[in-house]
Amino acid sequence: MSSRTLVRRHNAVLVIILAIAIVFAGRLVYVQALEGPRLAEDALNGRLWHSTLQASRGDILDANGEVLATSVQRYNVGVNQVKVRDFVAEVDGEEKQGAVAAAALLAPLLGRDAAELGAEMVGDSTFVYIARGLTPEEWREVAALRIPGVEPEPTTERIYPNGNTAGNILGYVGRDGEGLAGLELTLEDQLRGVPGSSVVEVGLHGQSIPTGLREMTPAEPGDTIHTTIDRDIQFRAQEVIDETVDTFDAAWGAMVVQEISTGRLLAIADSDAVDPNNYQATPPENRGSRAVQAAYENGSTGKLPTFAAAIDLGAVTPTTTFTTPDRITTPSGQTFSDADPHATEQMTVAGILATSSNTGTVLIGDRISDEQRYEYFRAFGMGERTGIELPGESPGMLEAPEAWDGRQRYTTMFGQGLAVNLLQNTSIAATLGNGGVHLPPRLIDGTTDAAGRYHAVESPEGSRVVSEDTADQMVTMMEGVVTQEGTGVLGQLDGYRLAGKTGTAQVPDANGNLTRTVANFVGVAPAEDPQFAVGIVVYHPGHQAPSSIIAAPAFKKIAGFTLQHMGIAPSMTPASLFPMRAE
């Protein structure tokens, strides 16, 4: 082979080697200069452990700052199955290793079976839950064992320190901490806060790299909610309504106490109230607030708007006298009767209200037009939701006059053929006690944000329904109800002047027959200077007693407690009532 041929071959080999070198060099440049940052980022992302930091849910307080709902620190516990393999410990005088040793020590603290727990700790996962909801004290006992791979996950648990007191108002949360009922549901956006986040760089077996990346965005706690509820009045109201429902074997009952000058609700009590700490133990139908959600025919408490409208329009005065039989037939052929037979009497408007005469009410209601009466009903808040900060409020039922038939035209005068919820009914009495100015009932005073700033809720503007003179006359007539001559005599309270109205309505059973009743009462106290209104409803009592027997005594109990709790002095001036019969 000639030298020239060797040179050519040598050059060819050099070209091939150079080409290969250029390819590798290009690949190296591509990997390091172009793909390097992306590959490094991918590698880093593979080593990053992302976790969410749960925000502490805001507290719910009563009007005096007492805690009604709060969140407490808890720990879920997980195990890194890879790291726990190297754990060695002496158990019962014998050296054991890995999951067996760890489970033997952990099981008594966690209330678990050691064999079952050990099986859960074996595998290749870097995090498997082995316990949830440990208190800080319980976690400290677990941490003291210093078992590698046993790691905490901080969380919170919602608790309600007062049990079922205000349970139907507060509501409850689900396992994920989201509000499911009551204020917990309607105020979810304010209570839940803003979650934070944590990013940590970890090694092959899940261990934190000391010099690695660590980033944390703190969680922002939810707002603290300041309610209008007075815990002590709420507690007593629930006692009274439960006692009343049990005594008369009723299906359910509810009670409301409202501050007259502001519309603030001091109590909303439902019988058999739910305990939010264990809401699953309460039947679903008892978990909400029937005071808000249930509409009922209120019977004779519904006479108050009719009387107020007639007086305010000048159609009657408290002393206007009517010839009042126990049975009356209208020109349209509709017949109505009073609850108890009685001789025809010459009764004043005040006497008709005190004795709750249906026939007298029809005579009074006929003095004004249906349209006028309907407008007053609406102004008192009937037929529309109050806007209370609770879910599922019923608007009640109030049809326009053109939809009334020949009988409903008259029944609406005395509280039948329409329906209200207890908040609406209580608000009628509160409006009269407030000089004729209607204030929407409310449950929230304000909120405190994570920075500690208090934000008061803007007080709603009132709307005048009747004149102050009309309201004063109505309260005086309601005071006559709570006397020996009135239907509310069992609502009398020694030392205090009270004013109210009884009501008993027939309601249909499952077959549509009017075999059931609803007993209710609304009133204000003290009568000479009303500070709060009370509403009570007892649905389908097993003992067919009237409201005067069922609800009036309950009014006396809660009014008496609230008067003393609020430090209101006994009445110093005697009542000056209107005559009930023609003189």
- Model's pTM, two decimal places? 0.84
Give the pLDDT mean for 548-566.
97
* The pLDDT of residue 30 is above 90: no
Please report, as a single letter, which amino acid is at residue 205: H
Token pair listed for 275: 């305990």
| R_g (Cα) of the chain, nearest Å | 36
Q: Percent of the chain at pLDDT above 70? A: 88
Q: How confident is the model at residue 203 (pLDDT cuts 50, 70, 90)?
A: low
* The pLDDT of residue 207 is above 60: no
Which residues are within 8 A (CB) of 516 and not within 5 positions of it... i.e. 6 or more apart? Answer: 506, 507, 508, 509, 540
Angle between helices 422-433 and 468-481 (to 10 degrees): 110
Give the pLDDT mean for 354-381.
97
Supply the mean pLDDT for the chain.
90
Token pair listed for 244: 């009343």
CA distance 385 to 95: 70
* The pLDDT of residue 202 is above 80: no
The rounded Cα 531 to chain-centroid distance in angstroms is 24
| Residues in the chain, overall count | 583
Query: What pLDDT is stored for residue 376 in this prediction?
Result: 98
Does 34 or 216 have the greater pLDDT score? 216
CB 150 within 8 A of CB 117: no
* The pLDDT of residue 208 is above 90: no
* The pLDDT of residue 31 is above 60: no
Q: What is the pLDDT of residues 257-288, one digit of tens each?
A: 999 999 999 999 999 999 999 999 999 999 99
CA distance 486 to 75: 61
Q: How confident is the model at residue 128 (pLDDT cuts 50, 70, 90)?
A: very high
Query: What pLDDT is stored for residue 106 in this prediction?
Result: 93
Please state the φ and ψ torsions of residue 528, each to the nearest 5 degrees: -75, -20
CB 555 within 8 A of CB 521: yes
Q: Percent of the chain at pLDDT above 90? A: 75
Query: What pLDDT is stored for residue 511 in this prediction?
Result: 73
Nearest of 556, 568, 550 to residue 247 by alpha carbon = 550
Sketch out the chain's domains with CATH numbers.
Answer: 53-227 (3.90.1310.10), 231-272+287-444+456-565 (3.40.710.10)
Token pair listed for 484: 């020996």
Q: What is the pLDDT of residues 59-92, one digit of tens each?
A: 999 999 999 999 988 889 999 999 999 899 988 8
Query: What pLDDT is stored for residue 215 in this prediction?
Result: 72
Give the pLDDT mean for 84-108.
90
Q: How confident is the model at residue 345 (pLDDT cuts 50, 70, 90)?
A: very high
* The pLDDT of residue 113 is above 60: yes
Query: What pLDDT is stored for residue 346 in this prediction?
Result: 96
Q: Say if residue 134 is exposed, middle or buried (CB neighbours under 10 Å; 0-12, 13-18, 19+).
A: buried
Q: How confident is the model at residue 300 (pLDDT cuts 50, 70, 90)?
A: very high
Q: How confident is the model at residue 431 (pLDDT cuts 50, 70, 90)?
A: very high
